[in-house]
């Protein structure tokens, strides 16, 4: 079967609608009333209010396709076939309604029935938590999955501390031996390989991780059990469009083609290193476009810093494709076209979004060439010396030339060098202290210019690898 991304999304939602689920629209990427989360990072993240009982849904069966951002995957983008910063997670949810005995056969029906996805059963593999005899029994005896397609995986337990927790079952699509990893021991469903593609995670939240219990997974059963699943749209689409990676699909190719046109120099699929740059640009512009569309803005803190980092990273990859002019703004309308059927608001707001992108590009371009020459110099010096880039230099690159710390760090890592993080943090802290005392001096002098102080908001440094931050870190 060959299906477009819009068809895949709509088949998923219609399937679960036919099983009594209510379709909920994709919510904003910016979490509502949830200071623990920087971005919506999964389908269930917008439905927490139902799962924790604070809101009772009118239908206990829900399905959605939810835009999600995962900053922990930034550095995977372009290097694996399957990771994005922004992706869509499609899911079906039971709030104390049906459980495993329905969720598992329905997943199988959607994937394999010729009326729906019609995937080849022989290509599907499943992992279960070793102690989850119920799930094993349903897969083997109710669904009829062959025994050699079922793997036990001790990591398949979803537990984020206090609250609902439980085993999960993941579904993999075998893309064929040509995608085997060089390390043969990794070539099994759940291993580090590009062959068995994880397409769907079914989480069975059946236990209550009570306060004070250790992580021994020996928790009491919940009075009402829930289902929470997540399927990556881009990955499933790559299967239907026989794509080598998620990028050779209708979700990304128009962006790649537009970038080829802007570059005028390089073509996609001719050189592996250049391909990474094409992929990073296509990925990051989607994330930035959606994030700005949802009201976030580039800045030095929290969500804004992530937008800034993604944009600047994309600009640097543009340089690698010979693009030195402002160009990311021209990709915004392409994102709007690709996503028009489910997210018409992007095309509607493309002028505004492109103007924010452009302003940020112009700002970075001003200092980029000087920053890059400084970086080249210090890389050469560090190579000749001890292999370490000074924290002071990393701070200067950040403060004067607009290089987010992580960009400098990535460049250094590519060259086999390390950056003195501690030295960078010391400089950052000193700058914040200076800003703070400047503000309090002003206050003590009786200066009450609110506009001025609000323009000079403190720049708080927020780590990247963190999916969650303290509420005080949020802008
Ligand atoms: P992986 O092991 O491939 O990193 P995961 O186990 O971290 O995936 P889950 O948290 O189980 O992913 O999320 C549910 C589904 O969402 C995955 O099965 C996958 O289809 C999709 N998904 C997760 N992370 C990404 C991502 N960064 N980009 C695209 N799709 C993703
Ligand atoms: Mg992951
Ligand atoms: Mg996984
Ligand atoms: Mg998973």
Q: What pLDDT was estimated at residue 159?
A: 87
Token pair of 88, please?
A: 């869509």
Q: How far apart are CA 82 and CA 67, in angstroms?
A: 16
Q: Would 293 be classed as within a structural domain?
A: yes
Q: What pLDDT was estimated at residue 449?
A: 38
Residues in contact with 467: Cβ distance below 8 Å, sequence separation at least 6, in sequence order: 37, 38, 39, 41, 70, 71, 72
Do residues 271 and 227 share a domain?
A: no
Q: Which of these, 415, 426, 428, lies nearest to 385 by C-alpha position? A: 415
Do residues 361 and 299 share a domain?
A: yes
Residues with CB under 6 A from ligand 1: 70, 73, 82-84, 87, 89, 198-201, 230-232, 234-235
Provide the whole-model pTM.
0.90
Residues in contact with 41: Cβ distance below 8 Å, sequence separation at least 6, in sequence order: 68, 69, 70, 467
Task: Select from 218, 240, 262 the last residue of a domain.
Answer: 240
Q: Which atom of ligand 1 is nearest to the CA of 76?
A: 27
pLDDT at 454 over 80: no
Task: Select from 177, 211, 240 the last residue of a domain.
Answer: 240
Do residues 186 and 162 share a domain?
A: yes
Q: Which of these, 173, 237, 176, 279, lies nearest to 3 by C-alpha position? A: 237
Q: Would 25 be classed as within a structural domain?
A: yes
Do residues 257 and 225 share a domain?
A: no
Q: How far apart are CA 178 and CA 270, in angstroms?
A: 19
Q: Would 31 be classed as within a structural domain?
A: yes
Do residues 37 and 167 share a domain?
A: yes
% pLDDT > 70, the chain: 92
pLDDT in tens, 349-364: 999 999 999 999 999 9
Q: What pLDDT was estimated at residue 456?
A: 34
Whether residue 87 contacts residue 232, with contact meaning beta carbons closer than 8 Å, is answered with yes
pLDDT at 465 over 50: no
Question: How many whole angstroms from 202 Cα to the centroid of ligand 4?
Answer: 8
Sign of CA pseudo-dihedral 361, 348, 92, 57: positive
Do residues 175 and 282 share a domain?
A: no
Average pLDDT over residues 84-105: 97
Residues in contact with 244: Cβ distance below 8 Å, sequence separation at least 6, in sequence order: 81
Predicted confidence band of residue 259 (pLDDT cuts 50, 70, 90): very high
Do residues 266 and 236 share a domain?
A: no
pLDDT in tens, 388-427: 999 999 999 999 999 999 999 999 999 999 999 999 999 9
For ligand 1, mutation pick of 69, 83, 84, 181 (most atoms within 8 Å of CB) = 83
Q: Would 248 be classed as within a structural domain?
A: no
Q: Which of these, 370, 399, 266, 239, lies nearest to 321 by C-alpha position? A: 266
Task: Select from 240, 273, 307 the last residue of a domain.
Answer: 240
Do residues 317 and 414 share a domain?
A: yes
Do residues 167 and 257 share a domain?
A: no
pLDDT at 461 over 60: no
Q: How far apart are CA 21 and CA 124, in angstroms?
A: 25
Do residues 263 and 202 share a domain?
A: no
Do residues 105 and 166 share a domain?
A: yes
CATH code, domain carrying 218: 3.30.930.10
Q: Would 300 be classed as within a structural domain?
A: yes
Question: How many whole angstroms from 195 Cα to the centroid of ligand 3?
Answer: 13
Sign of CA pseudo-dihedral 202, 206, 208, 209: negative
Q: Would 452 be classed as within a structural domain?
A: no
Do residues 231 and 350 share a domain?
A: no
- Residue 91 belongs to what domain range? 5-240
**Cβ-based neighbour number of residue 430 at 10 Å:** 11
Which amino acid residue places its CA nearest to atom 9 of ligand 1? 201
């Amino acid at each position: 079967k060959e299906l477009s991304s819009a068809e895949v999304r709509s088949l998923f939602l219609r399937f679960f609608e036919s099983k009594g689920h209510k379709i909920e629209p994709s919510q904003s990427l910016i979490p509502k009333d949830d200071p623990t989360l920087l971005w919506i990072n999964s389908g269930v993240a917008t439905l927490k209010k139902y799962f924790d009982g604070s809101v009772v849904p009118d239908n206990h069966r829900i399905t959605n396709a939810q835009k999600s951002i995962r900053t922990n995957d930034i550095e995977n983008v372009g290097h694996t076939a399957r990771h994005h910063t922004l992706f869509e997670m499609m899911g079906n949810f039971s709030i104390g309604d049906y459980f495993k005995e329905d969720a598992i056969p329905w997943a199988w029906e959607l994937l394999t029935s010729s009326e729906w996805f019609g995937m080849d059963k022989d290509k599907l593999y499943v992992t279960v938590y070793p102690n989850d005899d119920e799930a094993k029994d349903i897969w083997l005896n109710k669904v009829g999955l062959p025994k050699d397609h079922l793997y036990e995986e001790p990591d398949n337990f979803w537990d984020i501390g206090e609250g609902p927790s439980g085993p999960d079952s993941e579904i993999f699509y075998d893309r064929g031996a040509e995608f085997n990893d060089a390390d043969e021991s990794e070539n099994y469903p759940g291993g580090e390989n590009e062959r068995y593609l994880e397409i769907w995670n079914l989480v069975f939240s059946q236990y209550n991780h009570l306060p004070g219990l250790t992580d021994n997974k020996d928790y009491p059963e919940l009075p009402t059990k829930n289902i929470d699943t997540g399927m990556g749209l881009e990955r499933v689409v790559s299967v239907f469009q026989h794509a080598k990676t998620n990028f050779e699909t209708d979700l990304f190719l128009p962006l790649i083609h537009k970038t080829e046109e802007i570059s005028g120099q390089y073509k996609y699929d001719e050189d592996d290193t250049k391909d990474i740059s094409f992929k990073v640009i296509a990925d990051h512009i989607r994330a930035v476009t959606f994030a700005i569309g949802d009201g976030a803005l580039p800045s030095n803190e929290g969500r804004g810093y992530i937008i800034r980092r993604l944009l600047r990273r994309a600009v640097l990859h543009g340089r690698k494709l010979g693009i030195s002019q402002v160009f990311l703004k021209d990709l915004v309308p392409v994102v709007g076209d690709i996503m028009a059927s489910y997210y018409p608001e992007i095309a509607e707001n493309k002028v505004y979004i492109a103007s924010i992108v452009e302003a940020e590009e112009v700002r970075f371009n001003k200092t980029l060439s000087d920053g890059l020459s400084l970086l080249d110099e210090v890389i050469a010096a560090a190579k000749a010396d001890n292999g370490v880039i000074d924290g002071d230099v990393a701070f200067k690159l950040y403060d004067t030339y607009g290089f987010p710390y992580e960009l400098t760090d990535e460049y250094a890592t590519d060259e086999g060098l390390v950056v003195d993080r501690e030295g960078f943090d010391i400089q950052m802290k000193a700058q914040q202290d200076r800003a703070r005392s400047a503000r309090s001096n002003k206050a003590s002098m009786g200066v009450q210019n609110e506009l001025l102080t609000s323009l000079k908001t403190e720049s708080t440094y927020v780590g990247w690898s963190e999916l969650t931050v303290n509420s005080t870190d949020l802008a």
